[in-house]
Amino acid sequence: MTQKISLRGPISFLKKIDPVLRQIIEQVGPVQLERRHMHFLSLARAIIYQQLSGKAAEAIFIKLQRLYDGRSPEPEDILRTPDEELRSVGLSRQKMSYLKDLALKFSDGTLSQKSWDQMSDEEVIAHLIQVKGVGRWTAEMFLIFSLGRLDVLPVDDLGLRKAIQRAYHLPELPRAETIKKLAEPWSPYRTIATLYLWRSLQEETSL
């Protein structure tokens, strides 16, 4: 289940505030941001995809679903599945332990959508990194692609750093502090700026 977020206001704001972004927005066209409600699944996928190619990770995820008759597993499913079965789909022992920890924290209420709805972005990040295998970057991606938060700036994301370097003609990959300073005018819509900068990198690569 997803809920689309209207970006008309944020896009208009960014076009007025930053001429570089205005050009990117006009070249790239519309982007989308959605709130997704299958939060356990989103975080489980993020863990599975870590340090793997998209193709390899997707193959593991499909095999995982087959353990549950093709449906997406719930936390309780993961907790009652023997380690040997989880390993059989291609999960490393480390990732298996991460998934079990994630499932446990959802099951016992440590992680809760109701709690996140009342939290700031930084509070959600602090909440999520309690899970083994979930670092700040993974938490930021969850804020963007699952919770649909509008003002997330993943300063350590390599794609964002490359996109900013190209768009703003910087001599080297920008560091976190440089990105934060550059992005100050984009707030409270830094997520939307990030989406457009990512897309600009994809557009350039496809040429």
On whether both 136 and 178 belong to a single domain, the answer is no
Tokens of 40: 């356990």
Evaluate if residue 206 carries a pLDDT over 60.
no
Closest CA to 40 of 69, 89, 75, 68: 75
Using alpha carbons, select from 2, 73, 72 the residue that is nearest to residue 37: 2
State the pLDDT confidence band at 204, using cuts at 50, 70 and 90.
Answer: low
pLDDT band at 2 (very low <50, low <70, confident <90, very high): confident
Residue 3's H or E segment, with its range, is: strand 2-4
When pLDDT is averaged across residues 43-60 and rounded to a whole number, the result is 89
Whether 101 and 162 map to the same domain: the answer is: no
Does 47 share its domain with 24? Answer: no
Q: Report residue 34: phi and psi, to 5°.
A: -130, 155
Secondary structure (3-state) at 100: helix
Band (207; pLDDT cuts 50, 70, 90): very low
> 195 to each of 142, 156, 159, 171, 198, how far by Cα in Å?
14, 15, 10, 22, 5
74 shares its domain with 166: no
Residue pair 96/87 in contact by the 8 Å Cβ criterion: yes
What CATH number is given to the structural domain containing 26? 1.10.1670.40
Between 37 and 8, whose confidence is greater? 8
pLDDT at 90: 96
| C-alpha span between 73 and 101 (Å, rounded) | 14
Asked whether the predicted pLDDT for residue 52 surpasses 60, the reply is yes
Last residue of one domain, picked from the residues 113, 145, 177 = 145
Our answer to whether residue 69 is catalytic in this structure is no
Q: Domains in the chain: how many in total? A: 2
Q: Which of 118, 145, 172 is the last residue of a domain?
A: 145
Question: How many other CB atoms sit within 10 Å of the CB of residue 92?
Answer: 14
Q: Of the listed 69, 101, 151, 157, which one is catalytic? A: 157
- pTM metric for this prediction: 0.87
Q: Residue 59: its pLDDT value, please?
A: 95
Angle at 199 between CA 193 and CA 204, to 5 degrees: 130
Tell me which residue range forms the domain holding 41: 36-145
